[in-house]
Structure 1
Amino acid sequence: MDTTDIFLYTGYLLIIIGAVLALLMPLIKSIGNPKSLLKTVVGVIAIGALFFIAYSIADSEVAAKYAADPFNITPAGAKMVGGVLITVYCLFILAIVGIVFTELNKLIK
């Protein structure tokens, strides 16, 4: 095992620790104020609904080149990736619209 492997495993461990803490710390903090969880739940449900809509309209067609070795992409996998991409595109556009709206709102005030 050389240093590259050690750094990769250390990076994986830090990512896992960060993900766990990112999920647990807001829950621990919101124990004192349970109403703050409502906004989080609404946000998760909204993103889930957006993903469901994006997954529903995603195409499951796979080119023959990617269906064979070494990729072995299945129609279900292609539909999942398409749904995730459409969700990311929608969230990106929503973020840009929010930034523009905020800046215009500050300009008017």
Structure 2
Amino acid sequence: MDSIDIFLYTADLLIIVGALLAVVMPLIKSLDNPQSLVKTLVGVVALLVVFFISYSISDGEVLPKYQAEPFNVTEGIAKFVGGTLYTVYALFIVAIAGIVVTEITKAVK
């Protein structure tokens, strides 16, 4: 094992530890204020609803060249990817609309 492998494994470990801490530390902090957990739960449920709607309208069609050996894309995978893309598009539009509305209300005041 050379030094590059050691650094890659160390980087993987640090990414995993960072991701775990990014999830666990806010949960520990929010135990002081349970009302913040309700707000977080509402946000997560809203994201799940947007994803469910996006997944429902996405198409599971796969071109024959992607069903072949190097890709092995199934209809379920294509539908999941389509739903994820529609979710990203919807959240992008909501973010841009929020920015525009905020700037307009700041300009009017």
Calculate the TM-score normalised by the size of structure 1. Answer: 0.92
Distance (whole Å) between structure 2 residues aligned to residue 92 and residue 3 of structure 1: 41
Moved more, 18-27 or 50-59: 18-27
Q: Percent identity between the aligned chains? A: 63
Cα gap change, 1:74/1:33 in structure 2, threshold over 3 Å: closer, same or farther? same
Partner of 1:92: 92
Displacement of 1:58 in angstroms is 0.7
Gaps of 5+ in 2: none
How do residues 1-109 of structure 1 correspond to structure 2 at under 5 angstroms?
Answer: 1-109=1-109
CA deviation profile, 1:41-90 (whole Å, cap 9, x unmatched): 00000000100000011100000110001000010000011111110111
Return closer, same or farther for 1:93/1:4 CA change in 2, 3 Å cut-off. Answer: farther
CA–CA distance in 1 between the matches of 2:101 and 2:4?
A: 45
Letter in 2 for 1:58: S
Larger CA deviation: 22-31 vs 1-10: 1-10
In structure 1, stretches of 5+ residues that fail to align are none
Change (3 A) 1:33 1:69: same
Normalising by structure 2, we get a TM-score of: 0.92
Which deviates further from its counterpart, 60-69 or 2-11? 2-11
Give the alignment's Cα RMSD to 1 decimal: 1.2
How much has 1:12 moved relative to structure 2? 2.0
Give structure 1 regions of 4+ aligned residues with deviation exceeding 4 angstroms.
none
